[in-house]
Amino acid sequence: MADGGAGVEEREHVDGLFAILSCLYGFAIADFLPWLEVLDLDGHKKKITNAIKNVRRYQDPEIKKRIEMWEKGLKSEEDDILDLLINLKKSGNEPLLSI
C-alpha cells in the first residue's frame, strides 16, 4: 500500500490465517457425533473450508515459485523451512510432498 500499511491481499491472507486459528479449538458437534457432519449445524466446516481456500490462494503461488527455483537449479541451499519441506524425500528418492 502507498502509506506502508498492509494491502488488500495481506489483510485477506492474515484474516484467513486467524480464521483457521480460531477454528482449531472450536467445538463442532460432528467431532463427537460423526453422523451429524452432513448437517454442519454450527457452520464450522464451511468457515474452515473458506479460510483454507483464502490462505492457499496466496501461499500456493509462492510455493510453486520456490519449487520451480529448485527444479531449475537456481537454489542449491536450504534457507528456510519451506526449502526443507520441498527437499524432503521418501525412501526411493521420491519427493515426500507434492502440489
Residue 13 lies in a domain: yes
Strand, coil or helix: 89 = strand
Residue 98 lies in a domain: no
Residue 38 lies in a domain: yes
The whole-angstrom separation of Cα 60 and Cα 98 is: 11
pLDDT at 93: 81
Residue 96 lies in a domain: no
How many domains is the chain partitioned into structurally? 1
Residue 8, C-alpha cell as written in the block = 488488500
Residue 43 lies in a domain: yes
Mean pLDDT of the chain: 87
pLDDT at 37: 83
Q: Which domain holds residue 28?
A: 8-86
pLDDT at 1: 59
What's the whole-model pTM score?
0.72
pLDDT tops 70 at residue 91: yes
Local confidence band at 57 (pLDDT 50, 70, 90 cut-offs): very high
pLDDT tops 80 at residue 99: no
Residue 91 lies in a domain: no
